[in-house]
Structure formats: C-alpha cells, structure tokens
Amino acid sequence: MNRPEWLDAPILQASQAHTDRARAYQDHLTKPPGSLGRLEAIAIQLAGLQGTDQPTVDPVHTTLFAGDHGIAEDGVSAFDPVVTKQMMTNFADGGAAICVLAEEIDASLEVVDVGTCWQGEVPGAVRDERIAAGTANMRLGPAMSEAQLYAALDAGARAVDRTVEAHGTRVFIAGEMGIANTTAAAAVVGALLNKPAPGLVGPGTGHDAHGLRRKAEAVDETLALHREQLGGAGHLAADPWEAGRRVGGLEIAAMAGAYLRCAQRGVVIVVDGFISGAAALLAEHLRPGTRAWMLLGHSSAEPGHHRIVAALGGRPMVEFGMRLGEGSGAATAIPLMRMACAIHNRMATFTEAGVTPEGEA
C-alpha cells in the first residue's frame, strides 16, 4: 500500500477568538473567577477547539481496535493470545467494561479487528479489517512492513470518517485490545523518547517481578536490535515512521491514524491510558500539532504513563488507579466534560442574576 494522501491534510487550528471569548465569559458567571478550577479550563479549551461559544461533548464515540503481537511468543504477557479472541466475542456480546461504560455515557461504540491472529470469521458485531494475523516478533525483526503500517493508519482514519459521517461525532475515544500490547507500547515510547525499558514497563495483564524483568529485557533487546534503523541517538528521538513500523502494533498504529484524522477533521480526542497514550505520542511525532486536539482522560496505573504525560504536557482529568485499557479510563472523564460544558452554557452571568460583583457596588 502506498502512503495514503489523507496523511498530508492540514491539522486544524483552534480558534483563538473563541478561546479568548470563553475565558472572558467565565469571568462574568456568578462565581469568583477561577473558582471552578479545571471545569472552567475544559470548557474554554473545548470552545476554542470547536470554534463555538456553546461548547459541547456530544455526540461521543469510541472505537476499539484489536490486534495481536508476535512478541507474545516470548512470554512477555501473563495471558495467552487466545484471550484476544475470547475478548472479541465478549466485546461483540456487550460484556466488556468499555461496552458497559459506553452505554452508560451514551457513546456509540465500534470494535474493529485490524490484526488478530485467530482463524475464521470475526463475530458479527466486530468489523473485520484484518491487515495481518498479528505483527511479526519485533525482537527478531520489524513488527510490520511499511505497507502494513500505512494500512493500519488508514484503518484508524476510516473509523473516524465513519463516525463523523454517521453520527456527527464531536468527541472521540480510541480503545484497544491485544495480548502483549503493553510491551509494544513500551517499545514505541522508549524509541520516541529515547528511554530504556525501566520506568516504562509495567505489570500489564498482571506480571510478577520475574515477569517484569523478562518483559523489560525484551523491550531493551528490541530497541537495541532496531537502534540503527530507528535513528535515535543521544538526546534525539527515533524516526516516528520507523518506530511505528518496527516496534509498534497494528492496533497502536490504527489509534495513531485515528488521532491524526480527528485533528484534521476537528474532532476532540480524549486519550485513554498507557497504550493509547503511546499511540497519541506516535501521532504527535508523525504530525506535530495533533496534540492540540487531545485531552488526557485519566492517569494510568501503568508506570510508564507518567512519561507519556510529561512528554505530551498537560494533566489527566481523573486518577482512579485504572490500567485496563479498552478506552475505559477515558470514558470516565466524559461526565466531567459534560459538566464543564453545562456550567459554561447554562450558568447565569452576574447581569442575568442581578448580582453585583464585589467592588462594583
């Protein structure tokens, strides 16, 4: 597959006029300026991104991308890859956490298989866009070809186009499923930030100390194998295209493609935890400026997530000690965003309420 033309479309810019107007409007609401803290900041940011005086969260959409990883054969996960297949059925049946949360926050949900290794047809409620039967073992060679990377990015972009055209989506959450994907995410972050595995590798699906050491060794060996082709050295980050191809995952690349497309189409992104954060970091390195469209949903309990947050800048909206993935942490932030918009759009101003601010009597 050749490089998709949409990759070169411009990243949209926030409206500074609407940002400034929203900030000034907040100071006229019946409260001391700044007293609602980050609720005010969220509303102001959304107003600027959406170019409106009436920011909104809805409609919300979640796309969950699934893919398997060749490095799972090296025992870097506490679970067998067969769990990916089993969870796909669970997603299709509506029994997974993100299914429940999406219903609770009234978000549409699509599950897209971009690269699981199971045989046969996927469940009817899962969209089959399999590019390969999982990635190759990145510890032995590149995880995917250039064509597969482009195909995964393209699958993510198409998911955004579908939901915008079908639902008029304003806020997008990307989730993921794939055994060993925290290992791939750690490798992507390590490559992009030029960091070793310690501090990036966490328990994932539930490793003990021995499992964590094996996982960290696998990440460091992978980065050492690809170092020359990645191009990072000293303080320099790796070539993001090579990082995504050599040490990424099909579902991670699909999420990155979705984030890029959101930034091109003016859709606000709520980033989930460690794996989706790795995809967000990849997207920003691929196309600088994508970060402006991202709100950080939650602070993952995976230890490497704080490095992603530091690199992207900003603060996650919630911290519940979650590390499930699937987009579940991002989903918990949606009610707070709705409250921020409700305050901005419906709270009375001093003039409307007949209240005289201190010092104006």
pLDDT band at 185 (very low <50, low <70, confident <90, very high): very high
Cα 2 off chain centre by: 25
Of residues 316 and 234, the one with the higher pLDDT is 316
User: For 296-305, how does the pLDDT look when each residue is reduced to its tens digit (9 = 90+)?
Assistant: 999 999 989 9
Q: Which fold has domain 57-337?
A: Rossmann fold (3.40.50)
User: For 153-166, how does the pLDDT look when each residue is reduced to its tens digit (9 = 90+)?
Assistant: 999 999 999 999 99
Average pLDDT over residues 239-260: 97
What pLDDT is recorded for position 213? 82
What pLDDT is recorded for position 19? 98
Average pLDDT over residues 216-233: 87
Q: What are phi and psi of 38, to 5 degrees?
A: -70, -20
Continuous segment of H or E residues that includes residue 279:
helix 274-286
Average pLDDT over residues 224-248: 84
Q: Known catalytic residues?
A: 326
Q: Where are the domains of the chain?
A: 57-337
Cβ within 8 Å of residue 159, ≥6 positions away? 63, 65, 110, 112, 254, 258
pLDDT of 78 over the 80 cut: no
pLDDT band at 359 (very low <50, low <70, confident <90, very high): low
What pLDDT is recorded for position 81? 76
What pLDDT is recorded for position 212? 77
Whether 279 contacts 184, CB under 8 Å: no
Average pLDDT over residues 255-264: 98
pLDDT of 205 over the 60 cut: no
pLDDT of 61 over the 70 cut: yes
pLDDT of 257 over the 90 cut: yes
CB neighbours of residue 231 within 10 Å: 16
pLDDT band at 233 (very low <50, low <70, confident <90, very high): low
What does DSSP assign to residue 114? E
User: For 36-49, how does the pLDDT look when each residue is reduced to its tens digit (9 = 90+)?
Assistant: 999 999 999 999 99
Q: How would you classify the pairing of strands 268-271 and 171-177?
A: parallel
The predicted model scores a pTM of 0.95
pLDDT band at 88 (very low <50, low <70, confident <90, very high): confident
Residue with tokens 């091109």: 264
Nearest to 37 by CA among 21, 26, 25: 26
CB neighbours of residue 224 within 10 Å: 11
pLDDT band at 124 (very low <50, low <70, confident <90, very high): confident
What pLDDT is recorded for position 76? 85
Dist. CA 229–CA 234, nearest whole Å = 15
pLDDT of 217 over the 60 cut: yes
Average pLDDT over residues 72-77: 86
Question: Per-residue b/e over 58-93, b at no fewer than 16 CB within 10 Å?
Answer: bbbbbbbbbbbbbbbebebbeeebebbbebbebbbe
CB neighbours of residue 335 within 10 Å: 13
Q: Sign of torsion, CA 195 215 250 199?
A: negative
Percent of the chain beyond pLDDT 90? 81
pLDDT of 234 over the 60 cut: no
Q: Which two tokens stand for residue 213?
A: 């050491």
